[in-house]
Amino acid sequence: MTRIAFGTSGWRGILCEDFTFDNVKVVIQAIADNLTAAGEQHKGVIIGCDTRFMGQRFTQEAARVFAGSGIKSYLCDRDTPTPVISFEILRRGAAGAVNFTASHNPPEYNGVKFSPSWGGPALPETTRDIERRANEMMGEVCYREVQLDVALRNGLVERIDPRPAYLADLETKIDFDAIKSIGKLGVDTLYGTGRGYLDEPLRAHGIDFTIINDRPDPYFGGHPPEPAEKHIPDFIALVKGDPAIRLGIATDGDADRFGILDADGSYIEPNYIIALLLDYLIRVRKLEGGVARSVATSHLIDAVAKKHGVPVYETPVGFKYIGELISQNKLVIGGEESAGLTIRGHVPEKDGILACFLVAEMVAREGRTVRELLERLYGEVGRVVTMRDNLKLSPELEAVYADRVNAVPAEVAGAKVTEVIRIDGTKLLLDDGSWMLFRKSGTEPVVRLYGEAGNDARLAEVMAAGRKFILG
C-alpha cells in the first residue's frame, strides 16, 4: 500500500502507480482536515496545476473534496506557475493552496504541493500532520466529496484567472523600460506554465524576443522540464545561432526555477546568478537586508555579502526555509543552487519568472554580458567555481554510508577540515576556503556530492577526494 511522504516540495509519485485519484483524494482530505483543525477552513484555498497529464482533472477532484468539507476553492482556469499561486494566496488572504506539480521531475511524475496561508511551501510541522492524517486514512474511502456542478452552483467553487493581478504586481518590481534597451531576448518556457508570463510583459513593452516551446506538452518535448544545460540543447542552439539575441531566459515546467544563457549561448550556473543579483540589488537597487542560501549553494554569495556587510543565513535544502525568512523581511534575496530565488517584498516562494526578468534588467542597466559581470565580481571578491555530481551507491556502500560520513578525517584533499556542518547532509569546510557536501537522496541509493574551490584545478581535486571518500 502506498505511504504518503512529503519531500522538500510536496508529495510526488508516478502516475497510475502511487499517484492515483483515490490516493490524491485522501491527501486532499488530510489537507482539508488540517485546515479545519487550524480554524482556517473559512478562508478558502487556491487550486492550480502545471501542464502534466490530467492536471486539470486532478484540480477538479480536489475542489470536490474540499467542497465536501465545506471549504471554498478558487480554481485556476488554466495551468498556473507556482509563484503565481503563492501570490494569489497572499492577495486573497486564503488559507493556502494545493498545486498539482512535480516541478522539474520527468513527465511520468505528478505531485501535490501544499502552501499554507503565509504563501511559502509548507514547513515540516505542517506536512507531518498532513502525512499522519493521510496515512491513517489510506486504503479507505474516507474522503467526502460534492459533484463539481453542485459545488459551483452553491458557491463552493469559483473559477479564477490569477494572471492579470500577478503581472500587474510584476510591473512594480521590474524595470521593463530598461530591459527594452538590451536588444533581443531569447525565451524558452519548456512547454510549461511560463507561457503568457515570460512573453506577455515583453510583448506589452515592445521588447524584441524569440520564443520556443511555448505550448503545453505533458511530455515536455522528451526532456525533464528543467532549464539545466543538458535539457535545453534546442534553446542553446537558438541563442548561439542568432547574433541579435543578447540574453536567453527560461523557466521550468511550473516556472519556479530559472535558466540563463549568455549572449554567446553559454549556460550560466544558478549559483553565480544569485551572487550577481545580490550584488546588483544592494549596489544598484539599494535594497537592505541579508541573504539566505541553502547549505548546498555557493559561498560566492558569502563573499558578496561580506563585501556589502550583510548577514548570511545558511538553511537546509528546501525553499520553505528561505521563504520563511523572506516572509519575516530579513532578506534582500534568498536562493538555492537548484535555480530557485525570490527577493524582498515578493512571494516567499521560488519565482523563475521574476528571476529571469531581474537578470534581464541587470544586464540592460549594467550594459555588460553576464560573463563580463561575473568577471568583474570575481575581481572584487575572488574567483569561486562550483560543481555537483551524483554518486550511485552499491548495497554494500549504502549499508556503511552513515558510518563513513560520521567518521570525518582531519584532512581531506590535502587541506585541514576546519568545520563540519550537519544541518542537511555532511558539509566539510577546508582551510583553503574550499568545501564539499554529501547529501544522500531520500528516494534512491544516490549521494549528491557538491564541491567548491577557487579555481578549476583545485575543484577537480576536491571532487575527486569527495568521490574517493564515499566510494572508496
Q: Which residues contact 57 (CB under 8 A, 6 or more apart)?
A: none
The Cβ-side half-sphere exposure at 220, using a 13 Å CA radius, reads 29
Split at pLDDT 50, 70, 90, the class of 141 is low
Q: Degrees (nearest 5) of the Cα angle 103, 105, 106?
A: 130
> Residue 201 and residue 205: Cα distance in Å, rounded?
6
- The residue type found at 405 is V
Task: Give me the CATH code for the 173-381 domain, please.
Answer: 3.40.120.10
Q: What are phi and psi of 440, to 5 degrees?
A: -85, 135
pLDDT, position 441: 84
Closest listed residue to residue 241, CA positions, set 221, 212, 215: 212
- Is it the case that residue 204 has pLDDT exceeding 90? yes
| Alpha-carbon gap, residue 294 to 321, rounded angstroms | 9
pLDDT at 139: 73
- Architecture of the domain delimited by 385-471: 2-Layer Sandwich (3.30)
> For the stretch 45-77, what's the b/e string if a residue is b when 16 or more beta carbons lie within 10 angstroms of its beta carbon?
bbbbbbbbebbbebbbbbbbbbbbbebbbbbbe
Q: Give domain limits for the chain.
A: 11-162, 173-381, 385-471
Statement: residue 1 has pLDDT above 60: no
Q: What 3 state SS string does 370-404 have?
A: HHHHHHHHHHHHCCCEEEEEEEECCHHHHHHHHHH
The answer to whether the Cα torsion of 27, 29, 32, 34 is positive or negative is negative
Give tens-digit pLDDT for 348-362.
999 999 999 999 999
Instruction: For the chain, give the mean pLDDT.
Output: 96
Q: What is the DSSP string of 41-107?
A: GGG-EEEEE-SSTTHHHHHHHHHHHHHHTT--EEEESS---HHHHHHHHHHHT-SEEEEE--TTS-T
Which value, to the nearest 10 degrees, does the dihedral of the CA atoms of residues 13, 18, 21, 26 take?
A: -90
pLDDT at 7 over 90: no
Backbone angles phi, psi at 58, to 5 degrees: -65, -40
Mean pLDDT computed over 217-240 = 96
Q: Which CATH architecture has domain 11-162?
A: 3-Layer(aba) Sandwich (3.40)
Return the bridge partners of 139, or none: none
Q: Over range 253-281, report the average pLDDT.
A: 98
Q: What pTM does this model have?
A: 0.95
In eight-state DSSP terms, residue 173 is T
Question: 222 burial class (0-12, 13-18, 19+ CB within 10 angstroms)?
Answer: exposed
Collapsing DSSP states into helix, strand and coil, what is residue 146? Answer: coil
Looking at residue 51, its amino acid is T
pLDDT higher than 90, residue 392 = yes
User: How far apart, in Å, do the first and last CA atoms of the chain sit?
Assistant: 37
436 vs 425: CA distance, rounded Å: 11
pLDDT of residue 444: 79
Q: Give the number of other CB atoms < 10 A from CB of residue 238.
A: 20
- Contact between residue 70 and residue 56 where contact means Cβ atoms under 8 Å apart: no
Q: Which residues contact 378 (CB under 8 A, 6 or more apart)?
A: 384
If pLDDT is split at 50, 70 and 90, which confidence band does 8 have? confident
Residue 265's closest CA among 291, 290, 283, 247? Answer: 247
Whether the pLDDT of residue 66 is over 60: the answer is yes
> Are domains 11-162 and 385-471 of this chain identical in fold?
no
